[in-house]
Structure 1
Amino acid sequence: MPIGLCFGLLLGAAMEKRNLKKQKEIRKITSDEISAALDLAWRVFSEYESPDYSEEGIEEFRKCLHDEEYLAGIEYYGAFDAEKLVGTIGIRPDRKHICFFFVDGKYHRQGIGTRLFRSVLQDYPEQTITVNSSPYGVPFYHALGFEDSDKEQTVNGIRFTPMKYEGLAEVEG
């Protein structure tokens, strides 16, 4: 085997091993980790989404993050970089409705959101999943295969577009 080809194979194997180390772990969040997920949601909301909301909307979102009754019925998934939570998605299993979906800005455009959504799809295959997307999230949800089910609305200062995923499209990423 020519030395260049051998070196190329070794380099390729080393790069693949390095990429596996960089791969983020996706799993269900334990009850001890929910607080970190909600903190992440607030940080990302504050940075990327709050500019699209009125003071009323920002306060309404903050209240949701502290409403124990509302939060109790949510199933959470997380993306972890080593031990650090860098992304989270929360879904209401009874309604198949995404309530929270946030990825730390430093980790945007790395496929983490797509992988989080795929984890939900594994647990809810071929089912319709809904979300009330913020204006910031609409293009991302469209890329996942969601379609608008109604026009943008504002309720209690929260701007959102109702969307649905029919469970038939293949999620890329």
Structure 2
Amino acid sequence: MQIKPLKYHEKNTAMELVWTTFLKFEAPDYSAAGTQHFKAFIRDSRAIGALDMLGAFEGSVLTGLIALDPARRHISLFFVDERWQGQGVGRQLFDCLAREVPHCPITVNASPYAVPIYRCLGFTPTAPEQLTNGIRYTPMIYRREK
């Protein structure tokens, strides 16, 4: 498994992985409006282009990705292809990202599906579940132990 920054030409493939995985695991928890809002976000080339993205590759196959809004130290996207879930891909992606932003807390708005995953990575909730634009999420934070 190789973790590396995604190149511009790889981002379309990355968004296909995001959309397919979202539909299977997260969309069932969202309203139609929430699903449409998410779809609009991943199709917004300006928003996606502003994110720092790391991809996990097995050979030339993208198996997962994590995307950080560098200004806010906020995870905007974190998806692993269904066939690669449970094999440590997400952990490797997060660990690599965390090394790139040492000494800074990292935040995320975790979907209901992802809350247990983020807890395993060391995140804690900062507020109860919320609903914005049809998207359900729990604000969470990761703080490194000193």
**TM-score bucket (shorter structure):** over 0.9
Q: Tell me the SS of whatever aligns to 2:103.
A: coil
Candidates 12, 16, 19, aligned match of 1:39 = 16
1:15-164 superposed matches below 5 A: 24-164=1-141
Amino acid at match of 2:40: K
Q: Residue 72 of structure 1: CA displacement?
A: 2.4
Amino acid at match of 1:163: M
Whole-Å Cα distance in 1 between the matches of residues 145 and 86 of structure 2?
A: 24
Determine which structure has greater relative contact order: mean sequence separation of CA pairs < 8 Å that are 6+ residues apart, divided by chain length: 2
1:88-135 CA-partner distances (Å, limit 9, x unpaired): 000011110000000001111100000000110111012100000000
Whole-Å Cα distance in 2 between the matches of residues 127 and 166 of structure 1?
A: 7
Q: Identity over aligned residues, as a percent?
A: 39
- Taking only aligned residues, the RMSD between alpha carbons, in angstroms, comes to 1.0
Whole-Å Cα distance in 2 between the matches of residues 87 and 42 of structure 1?
A: 12
Whole-Å Cα distance in 1 between the matches of residues 144 and 14 of structure 2?
A: 26
More strand by share: 2
Whole-Å Cα distance in 1 between the matches of residues 145 and 64 of structure 2?
A: 24
Q: Rg bigger for which structure?
A: 1
Amino acid at match of 2:121: L
Q: Tell me the SS of whatever aligns to 2:65.
A: strand
TM-score by length of 1: 0.82
Query: Are the aligned partners of 1:50 and 1:58 in contact in 2 as well (CA < 8 Å)?
Result: yes
Q: Flag structure 1 segments of 5+ consecutive residues without an equivalent.
A: 1-23
Amino acid at match of 2:86: R
Whole-Å Cα distance in 2 between the matches of residues 70 and 160 of structure 1?
A: 19
1:17-46 CA-partner distances (Å, limit 9, x unpaired): xxxxxxx11111111111111111001000
Q: Flag structure 2 segments of 5+ consecutive residues without an equivalent.
A: none
Residue-pair matches, total: 146
1:130-157 CA-partner distances (Å, limit 9, x unpaired): 0000000000000000000111001010
Query: Are the aligned partners of 1:129 and 1:167 in contact in 2 as well (CA < 8 Å)?
Result: no
Amino acid at match of 1:116: L
Whole-Å Cα distance in 2 between the matches of residues 134 and 30 of structure 1?
A: 26
